[in-house]
Amino acid sequence: MALIDRLPATEAAHQCARALEQLLGHDIMVTVADPVITQPTPQVVPDEGTRSVALPFGDAVVGEVTLVLDEQFATLMEAAAPDGSLLTASLPALQAAAGALDGVVTTRPAIEHAGEIATATLLTSVMGDFVIVPLLEGDNVVALMVLRVLEEVAAAPAASAPSAPPPAYAAPVAAPAAAPPAPALVAASAAVPPAPTGEIALHVFQPLADHGGGPGPARPLALLNDVKLQIVAELGRRRMKVRDLVALAPGSVIELDRAAGSPVDVMVNGALLAHGEVVVIDEEFGIRLSEIVMEDGA
């Protein structure tokens, strides 16, 4: 089975979608369509009306994960970024997608080489195996997550893999002609030395002690006390089309999926922790918890 067939593309797309929702807020809900293993074509990856951001990775496998974004959706992402940069807005989603691959292959994202590229680069200048997953907001495709890997590098021994992933694209680019061709990656993979032949010395590892525990004292849970978590009070949600979202203006009313007087949800890092009611304490809003929600496995 080819490596591209074994990549958890759907899980990577789900992680990417969750990161986009966290960036844009709970009013945006991004769903994931079925992945398609295919070469990028103008029919699959439109060259007009899109913007693309790529994050190369490399270790035992060389490739990249790319977001091809509808222009309006890209504008929303830029508005949500602290510096107004599409790269800043896209990086958490790209890193989340690359991290989802670590169960099958070891990736090492090269953030210093990430950047915006011309969408036409995917159609004309890149070689390898691809899987494409559409991301939808409502019924509209607002983005494509594109995974690419080089099977030649993936088949080489890990010790022979490049020490750092060569960039597939230079960032940023202003036009397709300015994008350096990605065959440089293919050339780099061809330069990987072949596996040594002859006898292989097998290292004998010392067996673990009882219960398989490693050396050293146990770590107390108190070490986690200073870990920072994000707590969000959620009044409700609303699914909207992108065209309706960009049409919002001061005075617009958004109907939520909650009745007046319903308890609010208290979310910790995106997970439901409790229900409560809004109160005012010294002229500041607060939440009085009315129910602690204990999910299975919590």
* This prediction's pTM: 0.53
Contacts of 52 (CB under 8 A, 6+ apart): 66, 67, 68, 69, 116, 117, 118, 119, 121, 122
pLDDT digits (tens, 9 = 90+) for 237-281: 888 888 888 888 898 888 888 887 788 888 887 788 888 888 888
Rounded alpha-carbon distances, angstroms, from residue 173 to 53, 55, 118: 10, 14, 6
Domains of the chain and CATH, by start = 3-190 (3.40.1550.10), 225-292 (2.30.330.10)
Contacts of 200 (CB under 8 A, 6+ apart): none
Question: What CA–CA distance (Å, rounded) separates 113 from 54?
Answer: 9
What does the pLDDT read at residue 216?
A: 52
What does the pLDDT read at residue 155?
A: 41
Residue 210 above 70 pLDDT? no
Q: CB of 177 within 8 A of CB of 169?
A: no
Candidates 136, 139, 5, 121; CA nearest to 56 is 121
Question: What CA–CA distance (Å, rounded) separates 46 from 55?
Answer: 19
Question: What CA–CA distance (Å, rounded) separates 295 from 137?
Answer: 28
What does the pLDDT read at residue 173?
A: 41
Range of weakest confidence among 87-91, 181-185, 215-219, 251-255: 181-185
